[in-house]
Amino acid sequence: MRGALVALLMASTAFATAAETAAAQKFDQLALTPPMGWNSWNKFRCNVNEALIRETADAMVASGMQAAGYQYVNIDDCWHGARDSLGFIHPDPQRFPSGMRALADYVHAKGLKLGIYSDAGSETCGRRPGSRGYEAQDALTYARWGVDYLKYDWCHTDSLKAVGAYLTMRDALYRAGRPIVFSICEWGATKPWTWGAPIGHLWRTTGDIHSCFDCIKNTATGSPRGVMEILDQQVELRAYAGPGHWNDPDMLEVGNGMSVSEDRAHFSMWSVLAAPLIAGNDLSHMSAETARILTNHDVVAVDQDSLGIEGFRYSTADSVEVWFKPLVRGAWAMVILNRDTVARAVAFDWARESVVDSLSGRMAAFGTTTYRLRDLWTGVKVGTTARRLKARVPAHDVLMMQLTPTP
Ligand code: GLA
What pLDDT digit, counting tens, does each position of 22-54 carry? 689 999 999 999 999 999 999 999 999 999 999
Closest CA to 265 of 236, 299, 301, 291: 299
Alpha-carbon gap, residue 119 to 112, rounded angstroms: 24
What is the whole-number distance in angstroms between the Cα of residue 377 and the centre of ligand 1?
A: 31
CA distances from 108 to 36, 71, 95, 368 (A): 15, 10, 20, 50
Give the pLDDT mean for 230-243: 98
Give the pLDDT mean for 358-377: 96
How far is residue 407 CA from its own chain's centroid?
A: 35
pTM of the model: 0.94
114 near 91, Cβ under 8 Å?
Answer: no
Alpha-carbon gap, residue 347 to 400, rounded angstroms: 14
Strand partners, 335: 323, 400
CA quadruple 377, 381, 382, 385: dihedral positive or negative?
positive
CB within 6 Å of ligand 1 — which residues? 41, 76-77, 124-126, 153, 185, 187, 208
Q: Report residue 295's pLDDT band, with 50, 70 and 90 as the boundaries.
A: very high
Average pLDDT score, the chain: 94
Q: Report residue 217's pLDDT band, with 50, 70 and 90 as the boundaries.
A: confident
Contacts of 279 by beta carbon, 8 Å cutoff, 6+ apart: 37, 38, 39, 65, 70, 251, 252, 254, 255, 294
- Which residue's CA is minimally distant from atom 4 of ligand 1? 41
Q: Report residue 14's pLDDT band, with 50, 70 and 90 as the boundaries.
A: very low
Alpha-carbon gap, residue 406 to 399, rounded angstroms: 21
Residue 153 designated active-site: yes
Among 58, 92, 105, 208, the active-site one is: 208
Of 213-227, 290-304, 314-328, where does mean pLDDT reach its minimum? 213-227
Among 153, 171, 303, 357, the active-site one is: 153
| 3 state SS of 61 | helix
Is residue 13 over pLDDT 80? no
Stated length of the chain? 407
The neighbour count for residue 102, using CB atoms within 10 Å, is: 15
Residue 208 designated active-site: yes
